[in-house]
Structure 1
Amino acid sequence: MASIELRAVEKWYGEVQVIKGVDLAIEEGEFIIFVGPSGCGKSTLLRMIAGLEETSRGQIVIGERDATAEPPARRGLAMVFQSYALYPHMSVRDNMGFSLKAAGVKRPEMDAKVDEAARVLKLEPLLDRRPKDLSGGQRQRVAIGRSIVRDPTAFLFDEPLSNLDAALRVEMRYEIAKLHQALQSTMIYVTHDQVEAMTLADRIVVLEAGRVSQVGSPRELYERPGNLFVAQFIGSPKMNVFPADTPGLRLETTLPPEAAHFGIRPEHISLGDPGSGQIDGTVDIVEYLGADTYVIADCGAAGKLTVRTHDDAGLAPGRTCGLAFEPGRTHLFDEAGLALR
């Protein structure tokens, strides 16, 4: 495994710039996840690291080696795509060992590497099967195993779970987390699913329009977002945000003059009688999800605020409530959307 560093990396397609001066240092053995909305450049950036996209400007350093101009085969990286791309006529064993066979590795060594990867991924009973006999999750594990046998410098994952159903996604998240624990390899993972990002990453890189908006641990990004974009992108349901000068807002302290936006997460709001708390609202919709209930309340000038609660007793649409904000859990942002600390 090795560290990976991006130094002022840019990607241009003619006159269009899609990656805009990204600086990022990834430590050995770290699990980094790129997240962001569609079109933000996260897959492009991953492909640039892999060497599948040319770097227009800047440097990509792998270990202590400038790999910017190196072809993919010389970078020592293994990429796992959304598509499994398994050979249908080959067994699981032959699929996993194909790259080693193509590289001239002798059969005993190849079998030993495949057997070890199969043990890590719990594929041992499936080695003689063909891809058509496997579930989607099993096929993805074979695709990952094909990468493991190469003993790469780092693993690159490009939305590997997006083709799986909800139950298999949960199972594979667990498998990938255990894989990282077992291998302690450097991993870079692209996803649009923030649940994957929050549960798997050591650090998350939030991308917006080709730029890094914020880098930090899942807890840092959730509890201390650096700007309005990260505040509303990380978290489900997203953070409630409304103007800091909203009429009817009852605060115990005076806000700083530079505060333009006020934020509060749904789980940090409690419901009470009208007149209690910081603002009143009328229940619009109640969404019962079992362990949680989401209450969407119309709070007039503040707009519709979402409350996450465990007690939905009597919260019928049309009821007026007071919304109380948990002390120390509010967020303030200036006119440019930057967090006020």
Structure 2
Amino acid sequence: MAGIELKSVEKWYGDAQVIKGVDLAVEEGEFVIFVGPSGCGKSTLLRMIAGLEETSRGQIVIGGRDATAEPPAERGLAMVFQSYALYPHMSVRENMGFSLKSAGAPKEEIAAKVDEAARVLKLEPLLERRPKDLSGGQRQRVAIGRSIVRDPTAFLFDEPLSNLDAALRVEMRYEIAKLHQALGSTMIYVTHDQVEAMTLADRIVVLEAGRISQVGSPRELYERPGNLFVAQFIGSPKMNVMPADVDGLRLADPMPPEARHVGIRPEHITLTAPGDGQLDGTVDVLEYLGADTYVIVDCGAAGKLTVRALGDTGLTPGASCGLAFEPTQIHAFGVEGLALR
């Protein structure tokens, strides 16, 4: 295992800068997840750590040594891609042990490491099968097992669950969480799926246009977003945001004078009678999900706000209602979208 540190890392393609001075320290044994919109640079940054992309400026330090100029094979890292990249003519056992065989490891060592990885990933009954006989989740576990046998200093995952259906994603998310608990290895994981990020990560790195917008635990980013971008990126449905001076907004406690926007999450709004809350509006759409109902309320100049209500609300589109905000859960954002409270 090893910690990984990025020092003022930049990536340029000609005159285009895609990674803009990233500083980040990943502690030994930590599970860090990169998230952000398409084109923000999260996969590029991961590939730079792996050595698959050249670092234009800055340093990449792995286990205390400067690995910036090292080729991928010398960095001691294992990368798992969204495509399984298994050899179709080889068995699961042969696929998992191929890198060790290529490196000239003794047969006994290869067999022992493959058996141990298969035990951790519950692949023992599948060792003699070919990839075509496996489900998508099983193939991804084989790809992870192929990385485990190399005993890497850290694991790098590039959207490994993107090719799986919803049920398999849930299953594999659990498998990866258990794997991290069992191995205690340093892991860096790229995803666009917020559920993966919120449930797996020790810390989340939110990237925006090649820069780090905020780093923190899932709870920190959800409860204390540092800016408007993080506030609306983390959370599903996203945080409701409206101008601080919008007509019709009745807040018991005044916002700081420098506030430009007010934010409130859907679960921190209660539906009331008109006039009883902080805003009034008209029900636009109801999304019934069983345990929850998302009520989208048209609040005029404040925009359309989403309310997360328990069960069925009894409301219908066109009904008038009030929205009551939990006073301790109201967020204020100032100039350039920075959080004020």
Per-residue deviation, 1:257: 1.1
Q: Which residue is equivalent to 1:180?
A: 180
Do structure 1's residue 339 and structure 2's residue 339 form an aligned pair?
yes
Partners of 1:254 and 1:145 in 2: how far apart? 56
Partners of 2:64 and 2:303 in 1: how far apart? 52
For 1:108, the aligned partner's letter is E
Do structure 1's residue 59 and structure 2's residue 94 form an aligned pair?
no
Cα root mean square deviation, aligned: 0.5
Q: Percent identity?
A: 85
- The aligned length equals 341
Q: Deviations over 1:62-101 (max 9, x none)?
A: 0110000000000000000010000000000000000000
Partners of 2:313 and 2:132 in 1: how far apart? 50
SS in 2 for 1:11: strand
Partners of 1:255 and 1:267 in 2: how far apart? 21
Partners of 2:171 and 2:291 in 1: how far apart? 21
Unmatched segments (≥5 aa) in structure 2: none
Structure-to-structure mapping, 1:7-86, within 5 angstroms: 7-86=7-86
Per-residue deviation, 1:335: 2.3
Unmatched segments (≥5 aa) in structure 1: none
Partners of 1:340 and 1:312 in 2: how far apart? 35
Q: Which residue is equivalent to 1:233?
A: 233
Q: Which residue is equivalent to 1:141?
A: 141
For 1:264, the aligned partner's letter is I
SS in 1 for 2:52: coil
SS in 2 for 1:225: coil
Partners of 2:141 and 2:256 in 1: how far apart? 52
Per-residue deviation, 1:312: 2.9
TM score, norm. by length of structure 1: 0.99
For 2:225, the aligned partner's letter is P
Partners of 1:39 and 1:76 in 2: how far apart? 27
Per-residue deviation, 1:256: 1.3
> Which range moves more in the overlay, 247-256 or 197-206?
247-256
Do structure 1's residue 152 and structure 2's residue 174 form an aligned pair?
no
Q: Which residue is equivalent to 1:89?
A: 89
Partners of 1:193 and 1:165 in 2: how far apart? 13
Partners of 2:320 and 2:312 in 1: how far apart? 14
Per-residue deviation, 1:314: 2.1
Q: Which residue is equivalent to 2:212?
A: 212
Partners of 1:280 and 1:56 in 2: how far apart? 53
Partners of 1:254 and 1:51 in 2: how far apart? 51
Partners of 2:308 and 2:14 in 1: how far apart? 47
Partners of 1:254 and 1:146 in 2: how far apart? 57
SS in 1 for 2:157: strand
Q: Deviations over 1:154-180 (max 9, x none)?
A: 000000000000000000000000000
Q: Deviations over 1:228-284 (max 9, x none)?
A: 000000000000000000101111122111000000000000001110110001000
Partners of 2:22 and 2:251 in 1: how far apart? 40
Q: Deviations over 1:274-301 (max 9, x none)?
A: 1011000100000001111000000011
Q: Which residue is equivalent to 2:267?
A: 267
For 1:11, the aligned partner's letter is K
> Which range moves more in the overlay, 250-259 or 134-143?
250-259
SS in 1 for 2:283: strand
Partners of 1:212 and 1:220 in 2: how far apart? 15
Partners of 1:314 and 1:289 in 2: how far apart? 14
Per-residue deviation, 1:37: 0.2
Per-residue deviation, 1:311: 4.0
For 1:322, the aligned partner's letter is G
For 1:135, the aligned partner's letter is S
Partners of 2:105 and 2:131 in 1: how far apart? 23
Partners of 1:255 and 1:115 in 2: how far apart? 61
SS in 2 for 1:254: coil
Partners of 1:165 and 1:6 in 2: how far apart? 34
TM score, norm. by length of structure 2: 0.99
Q: Which residue is equivalent to 1:315?
A: 315
Aligned partners of 2:293 and 2:313 also within 8 Å: no
Do structure 1's residue 290 and structure 2's residue 290 form an aligned pair?
yes
